Every structure is written in C-alpha cells, then in structure tokens.
Amino acid sequence: MFRTNAELMKRAREGGYAIGAFNTNNLEITKSIFRAASEEKSPIILAISPSAAKYAGIDNLVAMARIGTEETGVPVSVHLDHGTEFEHIIQAIRAGFSSIMFDGSKYPYEKNVELTKEAVKIGHAAGITVEGELGRLVGVEEQISVSEREASMTDPDQALDFVERTGVDALAVSIGNAHGWYKGKPLLDFARLEAISKKIGDKALIVLHGASGIPDEDIRRAISLGITKINIDTETRDAFKRGVAQFMQENPDVIDPRKIMKPAMEEMFKIVSKKIRLFGSSGRASESIAYVTGRVA
C-alpha cells in the first residue's frame, strides 16, 4: 500500500527533515532507490514523469514500486512528476499512483489556477494528494535578464492566493532553482522562500525541484525554511552514466547487460543514499509509518 506525498511530508515538516523524490524510469534505477531507502530506513517518493511512464510502461513501473515497497517495508509514495495534461493524471490514478503533480506553470496565472483546481478535484476524488507549481523553473540553458529571472520566480502573495484557490496539498516553488546541471553556483532566493513559507503556513507543503547540484548547505537551509520534498533526477542519471561509461572503458568486450549495469546501480545507490542522509530522512521509516497509521502521540 503506497502512502501519499502529503502524509510523508507532514511528518517530515514536524520532524524538520525532507523526503527525497527520486525519478525513476527503469528497473535498475528503481532497485537502486529502494536499496538506498531500505539501508537508510527512510521514507521515499518515487517520481515518475509522463515520459518515463511512456518509456517503461506505467504498469511496469508501478509493479516494481509495489514489489520494492513490500520487500523493504519502508513508506513509499508513487508520484506523477510534472503531469501537464489531464490524460497524465487519469493514467497515473488508474495505474495506482498515490500522488500527482499537475504542472500548469507554463500557463498565465489565472489559467494555471483554473487547471490546477480541476486537477485537485480529480486527485482528491481519487483519494490522493496533489502538487501544483507556481513560478517558472528557468532552464539552465536559457539566457535571461535579471528582471526576467525575478519575474519567473514565485511571488509569496500569489502563492497564498494559489494555494487557497486551488486547494493543492503541495506547492513547487521557483526561487532560482532549475532542472539539470547549474552553470556555476545556484543562487537561491532564501528570503523569498522564507516569505512564501510564512504566507502559506500550514495551508500547503512546499517542494523544491531541480535540486541536483545544489550545495549541501543550501539544501539544509531550504529544509530549515520549510521545504519538505526535494526532487533529484540529474545526479542519479549522472551516476548511471558514470557507472556504465567507466565499466565499458575498462571492459570494452563485455556484452552482458547485467554486468554493464551493476556498477551503474552501485553508483546510483551511493548518490541516493547520500541525498537521503542530507535530507535528514534516514531512520525515519518507522515513525513515518506510525504517523500515517495514527500511532504517533
């Protein structure tokens, strides 16, 4: 049985830590994430994007998540990452996801509100929690001016309005974070994050996307300012590539995929474990289970 993101994140907020949302799109990534969660005794969110679902087959990914959840016993949420169409949401619900993200950030504000509100209605009717996004995550390749950068970020007053009008359980914010590798040190606007956190209070939970490459001290600061879900994909992909590349360089004649994938899985396991420790969710599996079953005093 999967947990919802909100269940895990609420407990994380009380405990002062964050839950890692790790993207997966195949068996090797999924098994590496589960191994890390199991050894760290940590709750996790498995993030599945629409293109990952298309690549692997949505039911294959959910079946792997079910097996991993049963085998490890850690609390797991299976979450739709960056659903941009209602089709994505419906397919995720049908496949058994416990949480969805509707990303309407490419639309003008009022359209984002309207569509996200509808997504919340659908998600809640299915008994799962919903994440929305406000503000645009600027691509690392995009050349934009300082004022454009400012305009792409989440406005604290608008964040409160968005949360109240849509009813989202969680909000992904734009505070200088971006998907992919950063060029140089990321410049996160912590004052903005603090203002968003204060405005929203306990009306919604706050999410940080594009966390690959953000220095550890900035991640800790973001958690201290209210972030309870942290998305990682690029660093896992990089670990995968590194493992395969190094192995092939040293063993150019090997053709057995199991041998080729093994070092990649080891590298992914190491990076996911490291992030789990950084986010502070190590050893939180049992209290998280107790919390969602209502046994925490």
Catalytic residue numbers read 81
Report in angstroms how near the CB of residue 279 gets to ligand G3H at its nearest: 17
Residue 10 in contact with ligand G3H, rule: CB under 6 A:
no
Single out the residue of 1, 14, 16, 51 in contact with ligand G3H (rule: CB under 6 A). 51
Is position 192 an interface residue for Zn ion (rule: CB under 5 A)? Answer: no
Strand partners, 100: 80, 130
Q: What amino acid is encoded at 85 in this protein?
A: E
Residue of 170, 175, 207, 213 lying closest to 191 (CA atoms):
175
Q: Map residue 175 onto helix, strand or coil.
A: coil
Residue 98 corresponds to which amino acid? S
Q: Is 88 in the site for Zn ion (CB under 5 A)?
A: no
Nearest to ligand 13P of 50, 280 (CB atom)? 50
DSSP secondary structure, 179-218, as one string: SS--SSS----HHHHHHHHHHHGGGSEEEE---TT--HHH
As measured in angstroms, the least distance from the Cβ of 263 to Zn ion is: 27
CB of 225 to ligand G3H, least distance (A): 22
Nearer CB in complex with Zn ion: 72/77 = 77
Least Å from the CB of residue 120 to ligand 13P: 19
Determine the interface stretch with ligand G3H among 2-10, 47-55, 113-121, 154-162 (rule: CB under 6 A).
47-55
Alpha carbon of 102 to those of 99, 172, 200, 244: distances in Å? 10, 10, 19, 33
Interaction between residue 212 and ligand 13P (CB under 6 A): yes
Q: Phi/psi zone of residue 252: left (φ > 0), alpha (ψ -120 to 50 degrees), beta?
A: alpha
Cα–Cα dist 178/119, whole Å: 24
| Nearer to ligand 13P (CB atom), residue 225 or residue 232 | 232
Q: List contacts with ligand 13P (CB under 6 A).
A: 23, 47, 81-82, 179-180, 209-212, 231-234
Q: List contacts with ligand G3H (CB under 6 A).
A: 23, 49, 51-52, 81-82, 179, 233
